[in-house]
Each structure stands twice: as structure tokens, then as C-alpha cells.
Amino acid sequence: MRWLAFHPLVVLLWVGPVLLAPVSSAQESKKDELQPIPTVDLKRNTPIEYNTDIAPIFENKCFVCHSGKITEGDFDMSSYDKLMKGGRKRGAKVIIPGKPEESFLFLACARRARPIMPPKTETPLTPHELSLLKLWIEQGAKAPTTTRVRTKVVVSLPPALVRPVRAVVVAPDGKQVIASRGNQIHVYTAQKKQDPGKKEVLDWVYQRSLVDPNVKFPDGKPAGAAHVSLVESLAISPDGKTLASGSFQEVILWDLASGQIRQRLTGFADRVTALAFSGDGKYLATGGGPPSEEGELKLFDAASAQLVAEIRNAHSDTVFALAFSPDGKYLASGAADKFVKVFEVPSGKLVKSFEGHTHHVMGVGWTPDGKRLVSGSADNIVKAWDFDKGEKIRDMPGHQKQITALVVVGKTPQFLTVSGDTTARLWNADNGATIRQFSGAGDFLYAVAASPDGEVVATGCEDGLVRLYNGKTGALLKALAPEETAPKK
């Protein structure tokens, strides 16, 4: 199930691929591309545990070629027992317990024996991962001592052009669409062009990527990435000037006119999975937190990036959704603990709590009068709530699979949802009816956004495509592929 993509292990996996490293000209030369990967001092005082420490690395960096239908070199790494049997050529010699320096698997991962693993088109192990692997073999390559919930196989970061679009926003003027793929952020703009009949039409083109120049590959080359880890959330300020992007333990505020980093917010416990600006642009709310521990909710002054309030114990699990009330007095949140809650701004005082969803709450929104809330959940259902009474108004079924995002369209009672069932839906909060469906995506959808006038609707898909629709007709305008963002040869 795709749900497992939210598993904490997956986060750890995504943190690996790029390092903050200084560049030296020697490191940039071609033939050093395959320099051995160094190991580091792990300062570990607990034994390495296969399921916790090692399997996630394999899952992220090896499974594409060594599990399931594909087992390159007849080497199946999908379980500990199969792993220890080795592959066609080297058999059990791939891992010699106690002797990393004689184990082909370690040497290949360290790029000290050929063929190197993973092959050079893929993301190499980080020094940290390599060191874990080494220590595990040193300690006897022991079998797992815990039971493990399998996570979804995550495609490794830089090589794969197909990357799920996890977050998308549309600028207030409807002329810019910004999407995140992996650890990158891509900006698209609408440009006027003449169609064959010489009529002026709008075309959407890739404008640029937002890049943190400090994020580099282990070899020192710029990664062209916005964050070290996966970009989990995006929000655009109401004046359209600032983009906030949330990732593992950080939020970056970007100046959209220049594409430069304006501010960096740190001090988060885990991933920042939800972001929202207040309607007047004064506040930025951030949500996240380590799974199954504590939902993290913070309120910042958007101009100074100063922390205004930290709402402790807001939720008992990761926060996935945030929305300010239209008058800016309240902040609604939705979390993996199945609750929708409303807090006072800026005090952070809990005002109301709405219970009823049976799975993670992935999106929340307010009707323009501030009297009702809508929430979308991984239980496939949209619920409408009466804010004053603190009661549910109705269930809105329709989606066949989990709802992954919900966004209100401007100052209207209409809102959009996307789901794992590959569709986006436009709803009327007043009567619970589906107004329109947006189809054409062949895969799981993660993100949705609309211009305030509802003209432009954008969805983000597992297949890496951002689909742009005419919000009024449902017609697909364009599918923006990740290839367009690749540097032109």
C-alpha cells in the first residue's frame, strides 16, 4: 500500500543521497567520479540491527534491481535469508560475517570492487550508510531481531526522472505553478503564444528550479536540489512573493522573483509535512512530527521567520494538513491521529476537536464564512463539520481510495480533493455534491492546488507528472513532465 510511503524509515532513506560537502576542483574531474566512498566513525554503542539499520538502505538503493520480479545477477535481497545466499556468481561469499574487507557486497558498495553497486547510474550509498553496512558485517552480519513492517520501495533520487509529485501550488495570479519532485522544486509559468489559427493562447513552460547551492552530491557536484531530503510540502504567500517548502527538519522561504533563499527555518523534530500561510500573509504555520509520537505544530511570523507559538501535543501523530480560517483567527489541523483540531491564533489554545475519521486526515479547509470545515482522509471520505456546534454535518463519499490532499478554491464554498484512485474531484461544501471530476492521471495522486478564481487546477502524481486542468470545464490543458526540467544537452 502506498501509505507506507509515510513510514519513518522512508524518510531516513530519502535523507541519504546528497551531502553537504565542499567542492574542490579535483573532485569535479571526470575520472574521479568513481572514487571509493569513505566510511565514517559512527559512534554507535548499540548493535546494528538488520531490520532497523540495514534493510532500509537495501530497500531504497538495491531493491529496484534485486527484489520482486527483478533479481539482477540472480541476487535476491528481499529477505535476510535470501540475501545471505548471495547471487549466481559469488554465492554466499557476497557477505562473509565478521569480514567486511572480504565481502564483495561491502566492497562493491564502497566502489572498491567491480561491478560497483549500485551501478553508477544510481544513487550511491552515503558514507553513513556504508559505515552501517560495514559495522553490521563486522558484528557478524546477524539476522534480524525485530519484526519489520515493509515499506514501499522508493525509487532512488537523482537518476530516476520519474519522481512522484508530492506537493503543488498555484500562484494567486494563476500564472505560476510550482511543484516538488523528490528533493527538487520546479517552477512553471504561463506564457502567451499563438496557436496555428493565430489565436493567442496560454502555454505552460518550465521556468526554473529552486536550488539550494549547498546541497551537493558526495562527489561535490551541485545536486540541483532544493533540500537534502524529500520536499513534503509547499505553500505560497497570498501576495505570491514567497514560497515556503517543507522537508526533513527544515523549511525554506524562497523569494519567487529571484529564486533565491530568503530564510531558513530549522528546529523541527522530523519532516515538515504541512504548511499554510494566513490569509493576510502574516503567519506561516508548519505541521509535521515523527510518526506515532507527537504531531508538531508551529506558528511563525512570516516576515521575520521568528517563532510565534509552538503548540505542544497538538496531535499524537504526524500533522498532514493545515488551514487558517478566513478571518485568520483560527488554525485548523488534520493529522495521522485521525483528528481534525482547531487552535486559536496566535495563542495556540485548543478550541475544538473533531473526531470521526477512521484513518489519517490528509487535508482540511474552511468555508468562506468560517462556519464550516471540510476534511479529507485516508479513509476515502470527505467530512463536513459545523465549527460552532463542533459536530459533523455530513459524510461525502465518492473516492475509491485514500484521499491524499484537500484544498479550498479561493473564497468559494468549493474545494478540491485528490486520491489514490487517480482522480481529482471538485466538491460543493454547501450540499456535499461532486461538481466535477478531473481524470487522465493513470496513477496515485498526492497533491492538488487551484488558482483563487478556480480557473487553473493542478494535480501532482506518482508518475511524476503535474497535470493542469481548466478548472471550469475539467479539460486537461497540459501534463508537465519531469524531463522538461532536465538540463538541455
Nearest Cα residue to 221 out of 146, 124, 330 = 124
Q: How far is CA 398 from CA 178, 411, 412, in A?
A: 28, 24, 21
Give min distance, CB of 148 to ligand HEC, in A.
18
Nearer to ligand HEC, 116 or 340 (CB): 116
Q: Which is nearer to ligand HEC, 155 or 251 (CB)?
A: 155
Provide the residue type at 425 as one letter.
Answer: R
First to last CA, the chain: 37
Judged by beta carbon, residue 90 or residue 142, the one nearer ligand HEC is: 90
Considering the complex, state which of residue 19 and residue 476 has its C-beta at the smaller distance from ligand HEC: 19
User: What residue has cell string 539476522?
Assistant: 143
Rounded to a whole number of angstroms, the minimum distance from the CB of residue 219 to ligand HEC is 17
Nearest distance from C-beta of residue 127 to ligand HEC, angstroms? 14
Query: 89 or 264: whose CB is closer to ligand HEC?
Result: 89
Closest approach, Cβ 17 to ligand HEC, in A, equals: 12
Angstrom distance (rounded) from CA 102 to CA 149: 31
The minimum distance between CB 114 and ligand HEC, in angstroms, equals: 8
Q: How far is CA 88 from the centre of its chain?
A: 37
Name the residue type at position 470: N
CB atoms within 10 A of CB 23: 14
Of 89 and 389, nearer to ligand HEC (C-beta) is: 89
Nearest to 132 by CA among 46, 220, 72: 46
Question: How wide is the angle at C-alpha 305 spanned by C-alphas 290 and 369, nearest 5°?
Answer: 80
| DSSP-derived secondary structure letter, 51 | I
Least distance (Å) between residue 208 CB and ligand HEC: 30
- The residue with its CB nearest to ligand HEC is 87
CB of 436 to ligand HEC, least distance (A): 41
Those residues with Cβ within 8 angstroms of residue 81's Cβ, 6 or more apart along the chain or in another chain: none
Contact partners, residue 405, CB within 8 Å, separation at least 6: 321, 362, 363, 376, 417, 418, 445, 446, 447, 448
Q: How far is the CB of 143 from ligand HEC (least distance, A)?
A: 17
The least distance separating ligand HEC from the CB of residue 376, rounded to whole angstroms, comes to 35
Cα atoms in the 13 Å half-sphere on the side-chain side of 209? 22
Contact 58, 105 (CB under 8 A): no
Q: Which is nearer to ligand HEC, 71 or 316 (CB)?
A: 71
Nearest distance from residue 155's CB to ligand HEC, in Å? 10
Decide: helix, strand or coil at residue 5: helix
Q: Which three cell numbers stand for residue 190?
A: 504561463
CA distances from 488 to 191, 210, 339, 483 (A): 20, 17, 46, 9
Residue 117 vs 311, nearer CB to ligand HEC: 117
Q: Taking the complex as a whole, how short is the minimal distance between the CB of residue 63 and ligand HEC, in angstroms? A: 8
Q: Which is nearer to ligand HEC, 107 or 190 (CB)?
A: 107
Q: Which residue lies nearer to ligand HEC by CB, 105 or 441? A: 105
Residue closer to ligand HEC (CB basis): 2 or 85: 85
Residue whose C-alpha is closest to residue 119's, from 58, 57, 61, 74: 61
Q: Which is nearer to ligand HEC, 37 or 179 (CB)?
A: 37
Residue 241, all three cell numbers: 512573493
| Spatial contact of 136 and 48, defined as CB atoms under 8 Å apart | yes
Residue placing its CB nearer to ligand HEC in the complex, 161 or 479:
161
For the residues of 280-308, what is the DSSP string, one character each?
TS-EEEEEE--TTT-EEEEEEETTT--EE
CB of 337 to ligand HEC, least distance (A): 35
Tell me which residue of 115, 89, 88, 90 sits closest to 103, measured CA to CA.
90
Cell numbers representing residue 85 in the block: 545466499
Q: Give me the residues that bind ligand HEC (CB under 6 A), please.
A: 61-62, 64-66, 72-73, 75, 86-90, 94, 104-105, 108-109, 115, 117-119, 122, 125
Query: Residues near 308 by Cβ (< 8 Å), separated by ≥ 6?
Result: 283, 299, 300, 301, 346
We find the least distance from the C-beta atom of residue 56 to ligand HEC, in angstroms, to be 11
Residue 440 class from Cβ within 10 Å (0-12 exposed, 13-18 middle, 19+ buried)? Answer: middle
